[in-house]
Structures are given as structure tokens and as C-alpha cells.
Amino acid sequence: MKRNDKKSLIVLREKHQVDRYIREITQEDMPVRVVIDETIVLDDCRFVCRDGKNKDLLIEAPLAPGEYPETGHAVVTCAGASSLYTFESRVLSIELAEHRRMHVTVRFPDRITKRERRRHVRVQPLAAHPVGVRMVVAGGEVVDVEPVDISSGGISFMMTEEVSRFKPGDAIELTIRVPMFGDVSARAIVRNVIHLMDLTRIGVEFSSLPGDALKTITQYVAGREEQMRQEAFEDD
């Protein structure tokens, strides 16, 4: 097969996959999040089905106060029951709609990434014995945080300060102090940055976790899970 023929075949496969993913998203009526130019976050959005040959995607979003660009760059995330779908696209227009809604039109994507939702058990560290994490981010900056939850797959934490330093896809290095076990090291990727009023929640997924570190975190999570189960039993 000639090189140009192979490229054409790859393009056709990707186009077919994108069409299939769009059908999955619309059939399940998945909630959609749109982040425009890395600053404007629109939650509780939905795809609006269109008839005809127009392939651009129409997304309905709640009307929120603020200034919106006529065009821009969008990162779109669709949350299914067992999978997350993510793609980047160009914002073509933003228009007001009825019932305090607005319509965001984005260009039909060339590629959509689908990945399974995290299935690791997450636990909240004990307030009296918190997990401590020291992160080294881009440029060698050191940030200390206490995770709100931890699993063998990653951590998440909250910050009240400006968090423009964290963006999905950023690689970071971690030193994790696990109560009763000691310190372990890991590498991770920032997966999501969610703005919640005055707080921001950052989700981090381990990309490289040595065997001893995995064993330590797994043992801690299992022990904490048993504690939480016992506490719930005693409350009943």
C-alpha cells in the first residue's frame, strides 16, 4: 500500500471513530463541560442534535454573566457513565438562546480521545493525620498541599489561590508523605482543573508509580477504607 493510501485510510478511520463517539455522547445525553481560552468554564452543557448537512456542533450552555469572545479555542469534555470523551476545537460563535441559555457553536473535531473513568477506590485522609504532598511543577516551583482524597491511581486537592500554574496535561513530580508508612515518590499528570466558586479542585493521575510506592499507597487506602467502614457502622 502506498504512503498516501495509508494516510487516507488513517484519516477515514479517525473520522469514523469521531462520528461514533459523537453518537455515543448524544445518545447518552452526557453532561458537557466547555473551557474557552483556558479561562471561561461552562458546566452543565448539552449537545443539541441538528438535522441536515451542517457538521458543526451546537452546544447548549447555561447563561452566565461575563464577557465572551466571538471566537476562541475550546476544550470540550463529555462525562459518560463509564468513559470520558475529550476534544479540542474552534469556537465559531456564541449566541443567546431562550430560558437563560446560550448556544456555543464549535467546529466538528478531527479527533476525540476516549478513556475509561477512574475505577480506583478513593479515600479521604484522616484530618488528624493528613497525607502531605510536595509537588515540583514547571520551572522547579515547589508547592505543598494536603489531598482531599487519594487512591492508587492519583490524588486531588483544593487550592484557594491563583492556580494558573496548573493546566491539564502538565507533568509534575510528587513526594507523598503517607501516615504510618513514610515518604514515597511518583510522577503524575494533571488531568482536570475544576473551578468551584472561590476554590479550585485539581485532579492528578499517577503516570509513574514504583512498586514500593504502589504497595504503600494501596495498603494505606485499604486501611483507611476499613476505618471509614467501621466509623459508618458505629454511627448506625
- CATH classification at residue 77: 2.30.110.10
Domain identity same for 60 and 8: yes
Q: What is the per-residue pLDDT for 11?
A: 42
Domain identity same for 108 and 144: no
List Cα–Cα distances, 123 to 82, 136, 187, in angstroms: 20, 24, 20
Q: What is the per-residue pLDDT for 7?
A: 41
Q: Would you give per-residue pLDDT tens digits along the chain (236 residues)?
A: 455 444 444 445 677 888 889 888 888 888 888 989 888 888 888 998 765 556 799 999 988 777 888 889 999 988 876 778 899 999 999 998 888 899 999 999 999 988 776 566 789 999 899 999 999 987 788 999 999 999 989 999 988 765 557 888 888 999 999 999 999 999 999 888 887 767 888 999 998 888 899 999 999 998 988 887 777 655 55
Q: What is the per-residue pLDDT for 8?
A: 41
Q: What is the per-residue pLDDT for 131?
A: 96
Does a structural domain hold residue 87?
Answer: yes
Helix (H) or strand (E) holding 231: helix 211-235
Q: What is the per-residue pLDDT for 179?
A: 93
Number of Cβ atoms within 10 Å of the Cβ of 1: 7
Domain identity same for 33 and 96: yes
Q: 82: which DSSP letter? A: S
Q: What is the per-residue pLDDT for 233?
A: 56
Q: Note whether 130 and 149 are within 8 A (CB).
A: no
Domain identity same for 82 and 177: no
Which one of 59, 85, 116 terminates a domain? 116
Domain identity same for 141 and 231: yes
What's the pTM?
0.50
Distance CA 125, CA 141 (A): 25
The arrangement of strands across the sheet holding 132-136 comes to: 142-145, 132-136, 171-178, 182-196, 199-208, 154-159, 149-151
Which one of 81, 116, 151 terminates a domain? 116
Does a structural domain hold residue 126?
Answer: no
Structural domain count, the chain: 2
Which one of 88, 116, 144 terminates a domain? 116
